[in-house]
Structure 1
Amino acid sequence: MADPAPAAFSASHQTHDRSIARLKYLIATGLFGALVLIMAALPLFSTNNSLGFYLMLWIAMATGMNICVGFTGYLPFGYVVFYGIGAYATGIFYKLLGWPIALSLVAAGIAGAVVALLMTPTLRLKGVYFGIVSLALATIVRLIISNLPDDWTGGSMGLILAGANNPVHSYYTMLLVMTIALGIVLWLSNSRLGRQLRAIKDDDAAAACVGINVPATRLKAWLLAAIIPALVGGVEAWYTNVVDPEYAFHVLITAKSIIYGMAGGFGTIIGPVVGAIALVGIDHVIWEAFPLINLLLLGLIIIALMLFLPRGVIGSILKRKPESRRYIA
């Protein structure tokens, strides 16, 4: 007769793991909910919403990058291509085709997804090869857009979205985009797709052996990661009323998305959010106190962070205090 003890222990262990996962999920949901409420209330207490707007922008960008790096293991140096495409799609559909700004932003998200689909063959590459190819493609897209007829994209001068200015509405739209990004990561952390992505990241060959469709699963994550920056780029274009090829496709947008996400810790739910809040806040304080050398000081802080906390703030906490995994996702 089989001993029932091992089976009972296994069932108890699985129940315990599910309870811990549920607790971490609830804590992350509560923190994200509090962040959304704080950002929603900020315009009621401040007349200058620029800092809040760009904080939400970088939280959304770092969260989107976390889907690429933390869930799939891809590091796209050309991540800015989705941001730029979203900005230009918004400008073209609003200014040239006369669509309402809301529909133009929907078109921006669709444009990001289309570009992601066109880049699907690059998902066969791994590591630095994927990163370099994605950067090259972003550069090619920027050059194509800059050289299109001025009547379409404004050429090297870009587009001016005259009549679209509405700082309050664009602020709350960015809040919506940030909320969507956070909701996607929360869902991935507790979904079958998220578990499949982690399995593929750990060992794609083993994942394929157990029946996971590796290319299709990666493509789903890639599309999610592309739509977020496309929407962000569209809303930022609405906020500033300007779409410029140099800024819309600037490599610094990718660099900041990586740095902010890495500062908190890729592969965790709340890490990129913590990293973005910390570094955007530090950058703002340094810029106000030392406007002439703010980039130098910020660079030194980032270097120190990478040297002493290579896993990011949250990742380092989880490594040094494993018991905190009960509460931090």
Structure 2
Amino acid sequence: MAVDEAPSAPRAAERRAADRIYYTLAALIGGVVSVYFVLVPVFELNLAFHFYLMLWITMASAFNVAAGFSGYMPFGYVAFYGVGAFTTAILVKTLGFPVLLALPFSGAAGIALGLLFAPTLRLSGIYFAIVSLALASICRLVITNMPEHITGGSFGLQLGSRAEPVLSFYVMLAVMLVALATFLWLARSRLGKALRAVRDDAEAADMMGVNVARVRLHGWLIAAFFPALCGGVEAWYTNVVDTETAFNTLITAKTVIYAVAGGLGTITGPVIGSIVMVWLDELIWRQFPLLNLLILGVATVLLVLFLPRGIVGTLLRRRPQWRRYIP
């Protein structure tokens, strides 16, 4: 027994050292990022740009749980965002809730919608993608046809004088930090390892004792919670919600592009991808406002062609020894 355990001791020590470096780097980077975003309103930098940068980082990272960890490609991902936005708007405008009290209900609405969509997790590949897109369209139609005094009908809802851009900016910062901390934990947790095992081979994972259905559901609910929160905070920031913007398929498209650009299956990938693509989008929009979408589309195609694994995925493929330190 002692002979068998001896070789494992150095490996365990090596893993502990790698974990210390992993979490130390995460804490240092998180601290620097937090200070930077905290100072954005103080130095009167572009508040809207940085707000949406945090939003897309959170959205792309949450999408990565569904696509990179679980192997699903939910083309209807915008449904969680839209339901979260309308939940906050309805609670605040129609029922008179304080905004900060309404926001947690947006996350809860995302989880409830995730549970409602859970039976589709038995599907895979393009079938799951198509069904999720159809369900997002159904959500949009249901909200559009609800009584106008509740959802505002086709005109949507305005939150009146409740807009607080700076406070909502800091709430979005808190949501992003909590989301990234959750995903960092997930990457090293038993649930994260089980999700990857199920993604790679569900039958083999089941034979190894993994509860495939439960693992998939847990990952799916995590992926549903944070975009719903983002929708709620964004509704507060803009002070208006309507079905055209809250359920716009471009939200899913951007989320997918940003996550893929950085590299699915990693924690830093969607973050780096979002930062690069949001800055690129802003730069192109300033220089070529009429050709913005065309140039951004070409840039996205070139990025996928030359870096098919994304920025971080390609880096880790060339430097596999860095995987133990780069989440």
Shorter chain as denominator, the TM-score bin is: over 0.9
Name the aligned partner's letter for residue 146 of structure 1: T
SS class of match (1:119): helix
| AA matched with 2:190 | R
How many Å apart are 1:47 and its aligned residue?
5.0
- Mean Cα deviation higher: 290-299 or 51-60: 290-299
In the TM superposition, what is the alpha-carbon distance from 1:279 to its structure 2 partner?
Answer: 0.5
C-alpha displacement at 1:163, in angstroms?
1.6
Moved more, 291-300 or 75-84: 291-300
- 2:51 corresponding residue in structure 1: 53
How far is 1:202 from its partner?
A: 1.7
Is 1:180 the counterpart of 2:178 in the alignment? yes
Q: Please, which moves more after superposition, 100-109 or 52-61?
A: 100-109
1:133 aligns with 2:116: no
C-alpha spacing 1:93/1:138, structure 2 compared with 1 (3 Å): same
Paired residues of 1:208 and 1:214 also in contact (CA < 8 A): yes
Name the CA distance, whole Å, in 2 between partners of 1:29 and 1:120: 34
Instruction: Report deviation, 1:207.
Output: 1.5
Q: CA deviation at 1:328?
A: 1.6
The question of whether the paired residues in 2 share the 8 Å contact of 1:25 and 1:190 is answered with no
Partner of 1:315: 313
Secondary structure of 1:148's counterpart equals: coil
The residue that corresponds to 1:8 in the other structure is: 6
1:48 deviation in Å?
3.4
Letter in 1 for 2:300: I
* Letter of the structure 1 residue corresponding to residue 202 of structure 2: D
Which residue in 1 is equivalent to 2:75? 77
- Which letter maps to 2:136? A
**Superposition deviation, residue 174 in structure 1:** 0.6
Matched AA of 2:131: V
Summarize the alignment of residues 197-236 of structure 1 with structure 2, pairs less than 5 Å apart: 197-236=195-234
**Deviation of 1:13 (Å):** 2.6
- CA positional deviation for 1:244: 1.0
Q: Bigger CA drift: 157-166 or 25-34?
A: 25-34
Aligned pairs for 1:255-274 within 5 A: 255-274=253-272
**SS class of match (1:292):** helix
8 A contact 2:40–2:46 mirrored in 1? no
Between Structure 1 and Structure 2, how many residues are aligned? Answer: 327
- Structure 1 residue 103: Cα displacement: 1.4
Deviations along 1:240-294, one digit per CA (max 9) or x if unpaired, are 0110101100111011111101111111111100000011011111111111111
Letter in 1 for 2:229: L
Letter in 2 for 1:117: L
TM superposition shift of 1:93: 0.4
> What one-letter code is carried by the residue in structure 2 that aligns with 1:322?
P
Match of 1:191 in 2: 189
Q: Which amino acid is 2:138 matched to?
A: I
The one-letter code matched in structure 2 to 1:132 is I
State TM-score, norm by structure 2: 0.96
Q: Give the aligned CA root-mean-square deviation in angstroms.
A: 1.5
Range with bigger deviation, 125-134 or 15-24:
15-24
For residue 298 of structure 1, the aligned residue among 275, 296, 299 is 296
Contact 1:64 1:226 in 2 (8 A): yes
- Following superposition of structure 1 onto structure 2, how do residues 97-176 of structure 1 map, counting pairs within 5 Å? 97-176=95-174
Q: Which runs of 5+ in 1 are unaligned?
A: none
CA shift for structure 1 position 295: 1.2
Q: Secondary structure at the match of 1:163?
A: coil
The structural deviation recorded for 1:127 is 1.1
Q: SS of the counterpart of 2:210?
A: coil
Q: 1:59 to 1:184 in 2, by over 3 A?
A: same
CA distance in 1, matches of 2:320, 2:220: 30
State the percentage of identical aligned residues. Answer: 53
Letter in 2 for 1:235: V
Provide the rounded CA distance (Å) in 2 between the counterparts of 1:237 and 1:149. Answer: 20
Return closer, same or farther for 1:304/1:60 CA change in 2, 3 Å cut-off.
Answer: same
CA contact (8 A) 1:28 1:269 kept: no
- Asked if the contact 1:262/1:275 (under 8 Å) is kept, the reply is yes
Residue 29 of structure 2: aligned partner: 31
Gaps of 5+ in 2: none
